[in-house]
C-alpha cells in the first residue's frame, strides 16, 4: 500500500528580528515502490531489457537548533492516503529519540521536538514512521525511514587548544619571517553558512608582528629587531567566525615570543691598556692576572678565544681561555728573573669563535688590548745546579765514604752563604749524612742491597742569613750489588723414595735461589757433600739438578728416613756456596710408583671396614632410630586408663602435680585469706575421677567466727574428713598452703588412722592375687609390728 507523506521545513534568516515559518508540503506520486513496468526494449543480442520506474523518494526533515520558543518545535507532518480523517489510523514513530526527543501526534501525524537540540551534540537523527489501523493494529502502509537534519546556527565561538603559546624567532630576522602558527576550531557546521569560517587578527603586538587572517601564521613585521634592546614580546591573537563579519563570535589566545640571540655583536675590551704585577719567584703556570672582553650576545655567540699576538713577553707568558667566565688568564710560561728583566708588554686579542656570515658587515668580530706586566723582586731561595741527583755506590763500601756532592747558589745579588742538610723523613734509618758546608753526601752505616736497592733522599739548601728561604732537591742513591750471599734451595722439598725403587730412578728435582743479582745472571752448581751409596746428584746445567737412586730397593723397617747433604755454589766472584740437606722418606708404593704409606706403624694397623660394611651399619642405625620414633609416637596416642576401672578395683591412687610453690614469700601461689575466712569456702564438691556408690548431700560446716585461728580451722577440717562415713576408701592428699606446728593428727592415711583403736583384718588382700602381695605383707604383719 502506498503512503503519501508531507514534508514541512522551517527556513530561518538570522538577519530578521523574528523567524518566519512558511510551510512547504511535498506529496509523493501514488506509484508503488519498486514497481516494475512491463515495457520491454529489445537488444541487439535478442535479449529483452526491463526498465524499472521508481516513485519519488522523500527522506529528510530539517530542524533549526537551539530553538528558544515556549512551545514544542514543529518538525513536520506524516500523512497517508488511507487516512480518511475519521481517526481510524494511528501513526507510530520509532528510531533515534522517538518518544523522548521527538513525539508524533498519532491521529494527525504531526511531529514535534520536545526540547532544544544542539547540532554539535548530534547533527542528524534517523527515524522510522508507520501508519497502522487503530482497531486491528495492522499496518496500512509499510514502514518508512527518514532523517531529521539539524540546521546549524552560530552558537559556538572559536577556541584555541592552548591559552598561552610560547614561540621564538631569531633576532635581526627579515620582515615576514614565520614565528608560529595558531589554529582555532569552531564547533559549528562548516558546510552551512559562515558559522565555522574563522578569521584571525592581531589585537596586541603591533607593529612588531602580524598574523595571516586565513592561516593564523604569525610573522615578523619590523626589520632588524634587536634582542639586546628588547627580548620578550606578548602578542594577542583573535579568532572570529562568520568570516570576521560583525556579529560573529570570537576567541583569543596569547603568544609569548622571545627573540633568540644571533652573533651580531663583536667582543670589546673595556680598557685599551691593562697593568699587571708578578713576583719573580712565581713558578711556571702561576696565574698573573686576567683580561675580559665583553660581548652583548649570549651563549655560544658570546664565546671568545684569547691569544697573545705580539709583544716582548710572548716567550715568558701564556694566555688561557676560561670557558666558564669567558676570561683570558695570563700565566707564567718560563721562570722570571727580576735581575734580568723587570717589564714585559703583551698585545692580547679576543675573537668570537662562532661568527655568523650574515653579519660580517657588522664586523670585525674581534678586539685587542695592551697588557703590561711588571716583575717584582723577592728574596729568592738557593738554586741547585741540577733538578735532581743520581749517585751509584757498591754495597760493600766502608762507613764514611763520600758517595756524591750536591751544589747550590743564592741567585740574589747579595749571594748569601748556603747550608745543606738532609730531610730525615727520607732517611729514617740515618744511613746517610751530609756536610753542611760543601754538600758532600757520605754513608754513616753499612749498606745492604738485598735490604734496599734504592734510597730516595731529599737534600735541603737554606740561606744562612735567612733560613726560611730554602730549596729541596731529590737525591737518588742506587746500591750496586756485590756477591755476598750464597745460593739456597728454592723451596722446602718433601722427598720420598719407594721401597721398590730401582737404581737410577728420579725421586726429586731441585732448584736454588740467590739474593744477589749478578750482571751475567744466576748460575748454580749442585754436588754432594760426600759420596753417598744410596743417592746421587745429577746437575742439569740449567740451575736445577736431579736426585737419583743408586741401589735396588729400600726397606723402611730398617731405615725410614735418609738425610742427603747437597752443596750449591754460584759462579760469581767471590764464589759463594751453601749446603742444603734433603730429607728423604722411604715409603710403600704401588706398581706405578704412587706413594701409599710412609710410616712403619701403618703396617700394624688392622684393615679397615669396607665401604659396603659401613653403609650396612649406617642403614641399621637409621632403621633402629625410625622404630624408636614410631614407638614413641604410638605411645603418645594411647589413651590413659581411668584412675579406678570399677567398684571392685580399689587401690591407692597417687596423683603427682609436679607443682612446687614459692614458699612463704610467694603471695601469688595461694591466697591464705581464704583460710582466714572459712565462710568464703565453696561447698564441698564430689570427686570427678570416681563414681560414688551413694549420692549424698554435702554437709555445710558451720561458719566459724572471723577471729578463728587457721590452726583450729585445719583441725576441724581434719576431724571432719576422719569421721565422714562417705569418704572414699583411698588415701587423699590435701595440700594446704600453711606451714605451722606439727599436726596432732600425725598421718592422715587411712592405713594408720588415729580415729580407731581396734585392729582390722586385712587377710583378704592375699586372695586378690599377686598384684596385692606387697599390700598384704604391709597390713598382714600388723601384730608382729606392734609386738616389736
DSSP 509-537: EEEEE-S---TT---EEEEESS--SSEEE
Burial environment of residue 253 by CB neighbours within 10 A (0 to 12, 13 to 18, 19 or more): buried
Cβ–Cβ under 8 Å, residues 549 and 504: yes
Cβ–Cβ under 8 Å, residues 98 and 141: no
Length of the chain: 788
Assess whether the region 273-374 and the region 383-480 belong to the same CATH fold.
yes
Q: Which pLDDT score is estimated for 484?
A: 84
Q: Which pLDDT score is estimated for 410?
A: 86
C-alpha cell at 604: 700394624
Helices assigned H by DSSP within 363-421: none
CATH for the 383-480 domain, from 1.20.120.80, 3.30.470.20, 2.60.40.60, 3.30.2320.20: 2.60.40.60
Q: Which pLDDT score is estimated for 393?
A: 93
Cβ–Cβ under 8 Å, residues 585 and 495: yes
Classify domain 273-374 at the CATH class level: mainly beta
Classify domain 164-260 at the CATH class level: mainly beta
| CB-based contacts of 576, cutoff 8 Å, min separation 6 | 483, 484, 485, 486, 487, 514, 516, 569, 570
Cβ–Cβ under 8 Å, residues 105 and 78: no
| CB-based contacts of 15, cutoff 8 Å, min separation 6 | none
The gap between the terminal CA atoms of the chain, to the nearest Å, is 143
| CB-based contacts of 710, cutoff 8 Å, min separation 6 | 672, 675, 676, 738, 740
Residue 52, classed as helix, strand or coil, is: strand
Q: What are phi and psi of 618, to 5 degrees?
A: -65, -40
Q: Which pLDDT score is estimated for 680?
A: 46
DSSP 461-500: EEESS-TT-EEEEEEEEEEEP------EESS---EEEETT
Q: Which pLDDT score is estimated for 614?
A: 84
Q: Within 10 A of 266 (CB to CB), how many other CB atoms are there?
A: 21
Q: How far apart are CA 489 and CA 566, in angstroms?
A: 10
Burial environment of residue 109 by CB neighbours within 10 A (0 to 12, 13 to 18, 19 or more): buried
- Tell me the per-residue pLDDT of 434-462, one tens digit each, with 9 for 90 and over: 999 999 999 999 999 888 999 999 999 99
CATH for the 488-597 domain, from 3.40.50.620, 2.60.40.60, 3.40.47.10, 3.40.50.10780: 2.60.40.60
Domain boundaries along the sequence of the chain: 60-151, 164-260, 273-374, 383-480, 488-597
Which residue stretches of the chain have pLDDT < 70?
Answer: 1-59, 599-610, 638-708, 726-760, 780-788
Name 258's bridge partners. Answer: 168, 232
Q: How far apart are CA 623 and CA 268, in angstroms?
A: 102
Superfamily of domain 60-151: Cadherins (2.60.40.60)
Q: Which pLDDT score is estimated for 78?
A: 83
- Percent helix, strand and coil across the chain, each rounded to 5? 10, 35, 55
Burial environment of residue 128 by CB neighbours within 10 A (0 to 12, 13 to 18, 19 or more): middle
Cβ–Cβ under 8 Å, residues 305 and 319: no
Q: Cα Rg for the chain, rounded, in angstroms? A: 64
Q: How far apart are CA 288 and CA 316, in angstroms?
A: 12
- Tell me the per-residue pLDDT of 119-159, one tens digit each, with 9 for 90 and over: 778 878 888 988 888 888 888 888 888 888 887 777 788 99
Cβ–Cβ under 8 Å, residues 199 and 211: no
C-alpha cell at 557: 723397617
List strand residue ranges (DSSP E) for 105-225, in order.
110-113, 124-133, 144-151, 164-170, 178-181, 199-204, 209-211, 217-220
Q: How far apart are CA 454 and CA 476, in angstroms?
A: 7
DSSP state of 681: S
Q: Which pLDDT score is estimated for 481?
A: 87
C-alpha cell at 223: 626589520
Q: Which pLDDT score is estimated for 767?
A: 77
In percent, the amount of the chain with pLDDT more than 70 equals: 76
Amino acid at each position: 500500500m502506498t503512503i503519501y507523506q508531507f514534508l514541512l521545513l522551517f527556513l530561518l534568516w538570522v538577519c530578521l528580528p523574528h523567524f518566519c515559518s512558511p510551510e512547504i508540503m511535498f506529496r509523493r506520486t501514488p506509484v508503488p515502490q519498486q514497481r516494475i513496468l512491463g515495457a520491454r526494449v529489445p537488444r541487439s543480442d535478442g535479449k529483452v531489457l526491463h526498465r524499472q520506474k521508481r516513485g519519488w523518494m522523500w527522506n529528510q526533515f530539517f530542524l533549526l537548533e537551539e530553538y528558544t520558543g515556549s512551545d514544542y518545535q514543529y518538525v513536520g507532518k506524516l500523512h497517508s492516503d488511507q487516512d480518511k480523517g475519521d481517526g481510524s489510523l494511528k501513526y507510530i514513530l520509532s528510531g533515534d529519540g522517538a518518544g523522548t526527543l521527538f513525539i508524533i501526534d498519532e491521529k494527525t501525524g504531526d511531529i514535534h521536538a520536545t526540547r532544544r537540540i544542539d547540532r554539535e551534540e548530534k547533527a542528524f537523527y534517523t527515524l522510522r514512521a508507520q501508519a497502522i489501523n487503530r482497531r486491528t493494529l495492522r499496518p496500512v502502509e509499510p514502514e518508512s525511514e527518514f532523517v531529521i537534519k539539524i540546521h546549524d546556527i552560530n552558537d559556538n565561538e572559536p577556541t584555541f587548544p592552548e591559552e598561552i603559546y610560547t614561540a621564538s624567532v631569531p633576532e635581526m630576522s627579515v620582515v615576514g619571517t614565520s614565528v608560529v602558527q595558531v589554529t582555532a576550531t569552531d564547533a559549528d557546521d562548516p558546510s552551512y553558512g559562515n558559522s565555522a569560517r574563522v578569521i584571525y587578527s592581531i589585537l596586541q603586538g603591533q607593529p612588531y608582528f602580524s598574523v595571516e587572517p586565513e592561516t593564523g601564521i604569525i610573522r615578523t613585521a619590523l626589520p632588524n629587531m634587536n634582542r639586546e634592546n628588547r627580548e620578550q614580546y606578548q602578542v594577542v591573537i583573535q579568532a572570529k567566525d562568520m568570516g570576521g563579519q560583525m556579529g560573529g563570535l570570537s576567541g583569543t589566545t596569547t603568544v609569548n615570543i622571545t627573540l633568540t640571540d644571533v652573533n651580531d655583536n663583536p667582543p670589546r675590551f673595556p680598557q685599551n691598556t691593562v697593568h699587571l704585577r708578578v713576583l719573580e719567584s712565581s713558578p711556571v703556570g702561576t696565574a698573573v692576572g686576567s683580561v675580559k672582553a665583553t660581548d652583548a650576545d649570549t651563549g655560544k655567540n658570546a664565546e671568545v678565544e684569547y691569544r697573545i699576538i705580539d709583544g716582548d713577553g710572548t716567550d715568558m707568558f701564556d694566555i688561557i681561555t676560561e670557558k666558564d667566565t669567558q676570561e683570558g688568564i695570563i700565566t707564567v710560561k718560563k721562570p722570571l728573573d727580576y735581575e734580568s728583566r723587570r717589564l714585559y708588554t703583551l698585545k692580547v686579542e679576543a675573537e668570537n669563535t662562532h661568527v655568523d656570515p650574515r653579519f660580517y658587515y657588522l664586523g670585525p668580530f674581534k678586539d685587542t688590548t695592551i697588557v703590561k706586566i711588571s716583575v717584582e723582586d723577592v728574596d729568592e731561595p738557593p738554586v741547585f745546579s741540577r733538578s735532581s741527583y743520581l749517585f751509584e755506590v757498591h754495597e760493600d763500601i766502608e762507613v764514611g765514604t763520600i758517595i756524591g756532592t750536591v751544589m747550590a747558589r743564592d741567585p740574589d745579588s747579595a749571594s748569601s752563604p748556603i747550608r745543606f742538610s738532609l730531610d730525615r723523613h727520607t732517611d729514617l734509618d740515618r744511613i746517610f749524612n751530609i756536610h753542611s758546608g760543601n754538600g758532600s753526601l757520605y754513608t754513616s752505616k753499612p749498606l745492604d742491597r738485598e735490604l734496599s736497592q734504592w734510597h730516595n733522599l731529599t737534600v735541603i739548601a737554606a740561606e744562612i742569613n735567612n733560613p726560611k728561604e730554602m730549596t729541596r732537591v731529590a737525591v737518588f742513591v742506587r746500591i750496586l750489588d756485590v756477591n755476598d750471599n750464597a745460593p739456597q734451595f728454592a723451596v722446602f722439598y718433601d722427598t720420598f723414595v719407594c721401597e721398590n725403587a730401582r737404581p737410577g730412578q728420579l725421586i726429586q728435582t731441585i732448584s736454588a735461589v740467590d739474593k744477589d743479582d749478578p750482571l751475567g745472571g744466576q748460575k748454580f752448581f749442585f754436588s754432594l757433600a760426600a759420596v753417598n751409596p744410596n743417592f746421587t746428584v745429577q746437575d742439569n746445567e740449567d740451575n736445577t739438578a736431579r736426585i737419583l737412586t743408586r741401589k735396588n730397593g729400600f726397606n723402611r723397617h730398617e731405615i725410614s728416613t735418609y738425610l742427603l747433604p747437597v752443596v750449591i755454589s754460584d759462579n760469581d766472584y767471590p764464589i759463594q756456596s751453601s749446603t742444603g740437606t734433603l730429607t728423604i722418606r722411604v715409603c710403600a708404593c704401588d706398581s706405578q710408583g704412587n706413594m701409599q704409606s710412609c710410616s712403619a706403624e701403618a703396617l700394624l694397623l688392622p684393615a679397615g671396614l669396607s665401604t659396603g660394611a659401613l653403609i650396612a651399619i649406617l642403614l641399621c642405625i637409621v632403621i633402629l632410630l625410625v622404630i624408636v620414633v614410631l614407638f614413641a609416637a604410638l605411645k603418645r596416642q594411647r589413651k590413659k586408663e581411668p584412675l579406678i576401672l570399677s567398684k571392685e578395683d580399689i587401690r591407692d591412687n597417687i596423683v603427682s602435680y609436679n607443682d612446687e610453690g614459692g614458699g612463704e614469700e610467694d603471695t601469688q601461689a595461694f591466697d591464705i585469706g581464704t583460710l582466714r575466712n572459712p565462710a568464703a569456702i565453696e561447698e564441698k564438691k564430689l570427686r570427678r575421677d570416681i563414681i560414688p556408690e551413694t549420692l549424698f548431700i554435702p554437709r555445710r560446716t558451720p561458719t566459724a567466727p572471723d577471729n578463728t585461728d587457721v590452726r583450729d580451722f585445719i583441725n576441724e577440717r581434719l576431724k571432719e574428713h576422719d569421721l565422714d562415713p562417705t569418704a572414699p576408701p583411698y588415701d587423699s592428699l590435701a595440700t594446704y598452703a600453711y606451714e605451722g606446728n606439727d599436726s596432732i593428727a600425725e598421718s592422715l592415711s587411712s592405713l594408720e588412722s588415729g580415729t580407731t583403736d581396734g585392729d582390722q583384718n586385712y587377710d583378704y588382700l592375699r586372695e586378690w592375687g599377686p598384684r596385692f602381695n606387697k599390700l598384704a605383707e604391709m597390713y598382714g604383719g600388723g601384730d608382729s609390728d606392734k609386738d616389736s
